[in-house]
Amino acid sequence: MIRRVHGFVSRLMLYVREKLSVRQFFILSSIIVGLSSGLAAIILKYFVHSIERLVVYYSHNYEEFFLFTLFPMIGIGLTVFYVQKALKGEFKKGTAEIAYAIAKKSSVLPSSQMYTHLVTAALTVGFGGSTGLESPMVTTGSAIGSNYGRTYRLSYKERTILLACGAASGIAAAFSSPIAGVLFAIEVLLTDVSASAFIPLIISAACGALLSKIILAQGVVLSFALTEPFNYYNVPWYIALGVLTGLLSLYFARTFEWVTGKMRGIGNNTVRVIIGGVCLMLLLLIFPPLFGEGYETIKVLSQLKPAELAQNSIFQDAISSESILLIFLGGAALLKCVAAALTIGSGGNGGSFGPSLFMGAYLGFIFARVINLSGLTHIPETNFALVGMAGLLAGVFYAPLTAVFLIAEITGGYELMIPLMLVAAISTVVTHYVEPLSMEGKKLSLKLRSPIEDRDKSLLSRLELMDLIEKNFSVIRSNESLQDLVKAISISKRNIFPVLNDNELVGLVYLDNVRNIIFKHDQYEKVWVRDLMSPLPAVISPQDNFHTILKKFEETNQWNLPVVDNTTYLGFVSKSSILTKYREELLQSV
């Protein structure tokens, strides 16, 4: 039955494609990808909130709450079991994997990613894993766009844009914020974007946001109503908050990387799940707001009811003053990234988007409350909590525009645009000054073995060295005679001859350097190749990135350099072939 439906849909789409122009079909495709990705994000949201309602049912008193804190371990365990049994341990997550697919895999993502992230994220976060759903939504949407493009044999450029359309729709549906969805796709996934990509991205994001407004209940979507307008007298305090959010972003990144690294260093899956689950249980017993995404606790802060967040904590009775409550909230903020890292590092699925919003909101609220209690002035605590969210999001993802417009959209207006821009920009400057790359940027750079800071470097990162190796060079041995060299020259179309000793490359013979002697027949049995060869100007390793390779060409003033793996000769790479391939990639991206 499913195959029949799939076949019918495929035939219908092919028929429609014949009737429409290329541009019209591509716009239709962006609508379909936007609706599909938005619907997937909505399904994940509903699935998670349904599990959460069931889980939270067991948290009415201290005894039940102790049992309740074990649920994250159960969720992570189920996720690991699913990955090991259903996916055979092959499961990749994070926006770095998507960007790597764009750069190195022709924007092709496995079809399994259209559903595996929905299942694993629902199990992880639904049972209380302290992480966000946005990364799985982005991956799912990207996989939908990629596989749609592959099914209908669209070009690399079109497939890449549809991949980004799926990601934009997922973010738009998660927060009912289409502009933020578009900007996220541009800032985080697409290193360069042409004007032709904007319309499909906007259409897909609008489709995702529209579905979100129609289907999702208000309580499921993160939204706020501003109670106080922006006052320009508070600009110095917003500037201070920008610096603080930048510093906290650095703490977030380094702590998250350190904890996940330690967790992944545990070889046994069962032991890793137990250790991560127990640590999460202890954190939840002290800081219940760390359960799940934490968006509900942000709403509690925005309603200026922070005391409610201490309910069910084992230290609830000790939190009897405003100062102790602020210490409690500060501890929750600082430990959210630890809880998220434990969740993901022990095998759960999720991302840093939600935790960064959580920490930003708590920082903004605590900062404003401290200023108000000090008597220096009165600043709006809700506004600072919202702007703090933008600061952390910008500082963690290096995506200031996404952060600004996300908070502007979820507050239903642009009243806070000036402080949002200030805080997001300052936070990004602070983090970028200390760490040139974001967390996901560093992962991508490591996978590509090259920096990813601009368009040219991104295009070069798409090239594969092994595809450019030329092997039509006549090989000679160091112990062969001039006569053997002349024979090699007579049948070769190249003017460079690699000299080997066994399989080790020991030098090169250039035709220009031996042109005079090859006509001296009396020297054929007297002169040896080892006497004629020149030292290697430089060698290229398969592990070298193209920035290093081009630098070697420039330094040696050569147009052909040998490729050597350890000491084994593999062939030559020419500078012209690299530049030709680069031009092809450049044309595809326009």
State pLDDT tens for residues 381-427.
889 999 999 999 999 988 899 999 988 888 876 788 999 999 999 99
Rounded to whole angstroms, how far apart are CA atoms 362 and 220?
20
Is the domain of 285 the same as that of 190? Answer: no
Question: Does residue 6 form part of some domain?
Answer: no
Which residues on neighbouring strands pair with residue 455, listed in sequence order?
A: none
Question: Does residue 3 form part of some domain?
Answer: no
Specify the higher pLDDT residue, 207 or 217: 207
C-alpha torsion sign, points 273, 277, 280, 282: negative
Report how far apart, in Å, the C-alpha atoms of 437 and of each of 137, 354, 402, 424 are. 23, 20, 17, 16
Question: Does residue 221 form part of some domain?
Answer: no
Is the domain of 89 the same as that of 118? Answer: yes
Structurally, the chain folds into a number of domains equal to 3
Give the range among 242-251, 303-312, 424-433 with minimum mean pLDDT.
303-312
Is the domain of 201 the same as that of 69? Answer: yes
Can you state the percent helix, strand and coil of the chain, rounding each to 5? 70, 5, 25
Q: So what's the pLDDT on residue 36? A: 92
Mean pLDDT, residues 489-496 taken together: 85
Is the domain of 569 the same as that of 488? Answer: yes
Question: Does residue 63 form part of some domain?
Answer: yes
Is the domain of 511 the same as that of 424? Answer: no
Question: Does residue 51 form part of some domain?
Answer: yes
Q: At what angle do helices 417-434 and 235-264 cross, to 10 degrees?
A: 50
Q: So what's the pLDDT on residue 319? A: 86
**Residue ending a domain, choose from 153, 184, 215:** 215
**Residue ending a domain, choose from 429, 453, 477:** 453
**Residue ending a domain, choose from 181, 215, 249:** 215
Nearest partner of 401 among 581, 168, 115, judged by Cα: 168
Whether 40 shows a pLDDT value over 70: the answer reads: yes
Whether 216 shows a pLDDT value over 50: the answer reads: yes
Is the domain of 204 the same as that of 238? Answer: no
Whole-prediction pTM value?
0.77
Which DSSP string corresponds to 135-197?
A: HHHHHHHHHHHHHHHHHTT--HHHHHHHHHHHHHHHHHHHHT-HHHHHHHIIIII-SS--HHH
Q: So what's the pLDDT on residue 448? A: 65
pLDDT band at residue 195 under the 50/70/90 scheme:
low
Is the domain of 160 the same as that of 32? Answer: yes
Mean pLDDT, residues 132-149 taken together: 89
Percent of the chain exceeding pLDDT 90 equals 26
Is the domain of 278 the same as that of 394? Answer: yes
pLDDT band at residue 590 under the 50/70/90 scheme:
very low
Q: So what's the pLDDT on residue 174? A: 86
What are 104-124's pLDDT values in tens digits?
777 788 888 888 989 999 899
Which residues on neighbouring strands pair with residue 505, listed in sequence order?
A: 500
Whether 496 shows a pLDDT value over 80: the answer reads: yes
Is the domain of 204 the same as that of 236? Answer: no
How many of the other CB atoms lie within 10 Å of CB of 13?
Answer: 17
What are 160-175's pLDDT values in tens digits?
889 989 999 999 988 8
User: Is the Cβ–Cβ distance between 245 and 69 less than 8 Å?
Assistant: no
What amino acid is encoded at 400 in this protein? Answer: P
Question: Does residue 223 form part of some domain?
Answer: no
Q: At what angle do helices 575-589 and 546-556 cross, to 10 degrees?
A: 140
Whether 522 shows a pLDDT value over 70: the answer reads: yes
Q: So what's the pLDDT on residue 584? A: 67
Residue 449: domain span: 232-453
Q: So what's the pLDDT on residue 106? A: 74
Q: Cα-flanking dihedrals φ and ψ of residue 509, to 5°?
A: -110, 125
Question: Does residue 313 form part of some domain?
Answer: yes
CATH number at residue 562: 3.10.580.10
Nearest partner of 70 among 131, 120, 132, 128, judged by Cα: 128
CATH number at residue 321: 1.10.3080.10
Is the domain of 201 the same as that of 237? Answer: no
Rounded to whole angstroms, how far apart are CA atoms 158 and 178?
20
Question: Does residue 458 form part of some domain?
Answer: no
Whether 64 shows a pLDDT value over 70: the answer reads: no
Is the domain of 177 the same as that of 263? Answer: no
Give the range among 223-227, 403-407, 427-431, 551-555 with minimum mean pLDDT.
223-227
Q: So what's the pLDDT on residue 459? A: 57
pLDDT band at residue 379 under the 50/70/90 scheme:
very high
Is the domain of 198 the same as that of 237? Answer: no
Whether 363 shows a pLDDT value over 80: the answer reads: yes
